[in-house]
Structure 1
């Protein structure tokens, strides 16, 4: 089973390639080997020195590498190569370049955000969950969660962005030459924001069990544990987007 590799950067950490594995070295620690056949994506938080051979090995294996700041902000991405251009990529590119496509995309995003927000509100047992809106729920969450748990949402969003990038990359979407970015759409970023709503009820239910805020290892494990659900949500979101664009007048 392939799993995400999370690297918490520190001074002197390096990543090299010794076929068939990535080799992670830290000062005063033993080398760690991660065979590429077991890695689905790599998420790097903070400063890590990469050998070009390691980056090219990830690209050849179709493994996305996502670079984040310590606070969860996206700094860059290295996407795996594709042997061929899938039909789905061509379909999305053509649809997103169609007349009024950006308006239809915004309609899709607004509808999906309403659905995500109301689903979260229902799981949080709001009596008026069917009319919940994003701003009101966000303000409630910010009051309900301790500061370190609220800020954990930024880290989670970064991890979910890496998940979305890899998922889209498996279909040839969101690469530098897909035409999607040129159509004015930040698909992976929007998907990560929608997915985050599904995690807020989990943070609310679990924060009282911790004396301190969650560390990055806990948050990474949370994403991995819920990986199957995240994939299902991504599949549903993309199916609805395709339908929204293809059925638009």
Structure 2
């Protein structure tokens, strides 16, 4: 749980809005495409709904019903916590555009061309993520040699963090899979697709493997060895501190890109 801040704070990079009404009540209402926030004796502030990804509320935060509805329709989850930071309630937002992602995938899987189309989609996503890694690390991009880039990335991690880096990095994958499952679940993908994928590799595992590109790329770019100097506790701490939010953005994009697979 992030440190509580007075009244209101917007984390612009991560699109997180913190509302702390523990000292003074906060009113949340909607005006057009904006969330309107009011604190006693202070000017109202308007925030575009499109720029918000998550809202965390603590204390006396007074939501108007239409504001809650607009956040739900915009796909913005709202987490309510107590004074100690413990979660009390989660209002899950679902965008109308992705509410039936599960049904869309069901239709795609029913097509005789599903196997080929999914393989092409996955290859395109891997190329996109590999290209992002090359750009972040200032490596030359050769779109025809994704496997060579993967090997170079593994070698660079081993040279930077030691030969055990590959084994330790695997500890990040369950964390990425949990995050991917949450994103897909919020998008309306049913559990049987998340875990079974119709007798093949589970969809969560497939997409978590794709998230391995930004995980490894960010670790190498930062060159912070704190994650590999201890056990799993250090890995989990590093994940929450440095990786979870940017990887979540990638997970959301992957979920949206699933719509590009045609039935």
TM range (shorter): 0.5 to 0.7
**Cα distance between partner residues in 2 of 1:111 and 1:192:** 15
**Cα distance between partner residues in 2 of 1:168 and 1:208:** 30
Higher RCO, 1 vs 2 (CA within 8 Å, ≥6 residues apart): 1
Alignment of 1:97-176 (within 5 A): 97-126=110-139, 128-131=140-143, 133-144=145-156, 145=158, 146-176=162-192
Residue aligning to 1:37? 88
- Structure 1 residue runs without a partner (length 5+): 3-32, 41-60, 63-85
1:240 aligns with 2:257: yes
Moved more, 91-100 or 209-218: 209-218
Count how many residue pairs are aligned between Structure 1 and Structure 2: 171
Residue aligning to 1:87? 100
RMSD: 3.3
Contact 1:156 1:219 in 2 (8 A): yes
* TM-score, length basis structure 1: 0.57
**Cα distance between partner residues in 2 of 1:174 and 1:223:** 26
Residue aligning to 1:228? 245
- Structure 2 residue runs without a partner (length 5+): 3-83, 93-98
Alignment of 1:38-57 (within 5 A): none
Contact 1:95 1:101 in 2 (8 A): yes
Alpha-carbon distance, 1:178 to partner:
7.5
User: Which protein is bigger by CA-based radius of gyration?
Assistant: 2
Contact 1:148 1:214 in 2 (8 A): no
